Amino acid sequence: MILENTATIKAKDQTGVNEVLTPEAIDFLEMLHTKFNSRREELLNLRKERQDRLDAGEKLDFLPQTEQVREGDWKVGSIPADLQLRRVEITGPVDRKMVINALNSGANVFMADFEDANSPTWENVIQGQLNLRDAIRRDIDFTVQNGKTYHLNKEVAVLKVRPRGWHLPEKHLYFGDMPVSASLFDFGLFFFHNAKELISRGTGPYFYLPKLESHLEARLWNDVFVAAQEALDIPVGTIKVTVLIETITAAFEMDEILYELRDHIVGLNAGRWDYIFSAIKKFRKQEGVLFPDRTDVTMQVPFMRAYTNLLVKTCHKRGAHAMGGMAAFIPSRKDPAVNENAFKKVEADKAFEANNGFDGTWVAHPDLVQVARKEFDKVLGDKPHQKGMLRDDVQVTSEDLTNFNIESGKITEQGLRLNINVGIMYIGNWLCGTGAAAIHNLMEDAATAEISRAQVWQWLHHPHTKTDDGVEITEQRVLQLIKEETEGIKEEVGLATFKNCHFEKASQLFSELVLSKCFVEFLTLPAYKYID
């Protein structure tokens, strides 16, 4: 369907599309696309060039050309009143029921996710925009088959929105012969339809920015924000964002990222799962870098401790909030023993973050909101944050950030099987339209699935890698385990679900990803062609 002279929708008819893609909204998106897409592509090429250098053995270090920024005495801009207290933030996809439950969860902030927790079917991205529009105007409810109706409470969480990353296209909307950037699509539509409404209600257009790899990518976002605000006659600086530090390259440029976005940024977040994936991906070919089972890569290992300590220190030095990582546990309604053990781990994790100076944290399930809040309350008391904890004790070097030594870590058959199982299970759910999937009592999203397939790829492509029982990880062994785990999934989910959710295709895709000699940058890129 051709909408304007250069705009074309390449998708099946979808309820609500005309409410979202109005002529005025399309003009706004086209303006963003025309101004910024070529720069986006240039920056993606810089990512590839940097990866080539890392593959050749280059080490990461702080940038000498931006030393003045790191050493300078500057602060980020003002932070709105409703973003001062962010003790517990809940994240989740943008389906209608989730939006209502998350806003009602008791969390301070709800991050509505078009990215890792969302499978970007045309229906999901269009309905997600409508769901958020309705929630902002308090015109949202949801009725399930048994007649139970969900609606918003009087008091709800502050809304933040995470658009998809710079690397992703939105294949359903083209300008000329180019698909629009998924980042610009998600951000642009939400901002165009809701910015003034949010301001009129005493809040504002607030965002999370994912997967930045450099301060130049932050600069691009800042320029997008300035253009968007000027186009709608909204004061520059009204948009407020938190950037996820979830790539290892961005960890070396935290000051610079804050500086580039200083009029718009309020904090950084320790996106732990993507960060682990990024470390594996970036150093996948470097000699001597081989990661153990994902369960051994905890927040206590050297490179993760260094990264989180530096994040807190950098944020507080610049007057920004430091947000902790995700608690991905999903409580079981059937097994109290599982819950008791998991709650203890969540409590310990959140106590560790609070004592290290974080101002708030993330959870994936409403039942964890109070668990996390309790640990932060113990440390912060009635203070909204602890930006006064400057962490002058922290001195982090480039060697600390790349110290991948994990003394007790092992590569086990159980870890290999778990990675294969989670990878296939997640891809199957994603192909079926679910971006956040409860697997083995954990909320798995694209980031955790990426860890799983990246580890299998690395173990398979590092010469003579063995599990701790002395058996080499070969292509034949991996293919046999994929076959066994696929059969186990079929038994677990049932034949109908196995077929309907394309688990056979998921297994095939996982095999292709881990066997390929070239490492595919993001699994969602080849998987995207299989969804409508």
Give the residue numbers marked as catalytic: 162, 445
**Residue where the block lists tokens 């296209």:** 169
Say how far apart CA 121 and CA 140 lie, in whole Å: 21
**Strand partners for 110:** 90, 159
Say how far apart CA 307 and CA 82 lie, in whole Å: 28
Residue type at position 509: L
- H helices present in 245-357, as ranges: 248-251, 254-260, 272-282, 302-317, 336-355
Q: Which helix (H) or strand (E) holds 321?
A: strand 321-327
Do 253 and 63 contact (CB within 8 A), yes or no?
Answer: yes
User: What tokens were used for 317?
Assistant: 């030095």
Characterise 470 by phi-psi region: left (phi > 0), alpha (psi -120 to 50), beta (else).
left
**Strand partners for 174:** 8, 179
253-274 as b/e: b if 16+ CB within 10 A: bbbbbbbbbbbbbbbbbbbbbb
Do 251 and 307 contact (CB within 8 A), yes or no?
Answer: yes
**Residue where the block lists tokens 């399309």:** 26
Say how far apart CA 86 and CA 358 lie, in whole Å: 10
User: What tokens were used for 512?
Assistant: 């292709």
Say how far apart CA 462 and CA 88 lie, in whole Å: 40
The SS3 call for residue 466 is: strand
Say how far apart CA 375 and CA 351 lie, in whole Å: 5
The SS3 call for residue 21 is: coil
Say how far apart CA 383 and CA 358 lie, in whole Å: 12
User: What tokens were used for 400?
Assistant: 């600390």
**Strand partners for 169:** 181
Give every CB contact of residue 418 below 8 A, 6+ residues apart in sequence: 293, 294, 295, 452
**Strand partners for 88:** 361
- H helices present in 1-66, as ranges: 17-20, 23-55
Do 465 and 459 contact (CB within 8 A), yes or no?
Answer: yes
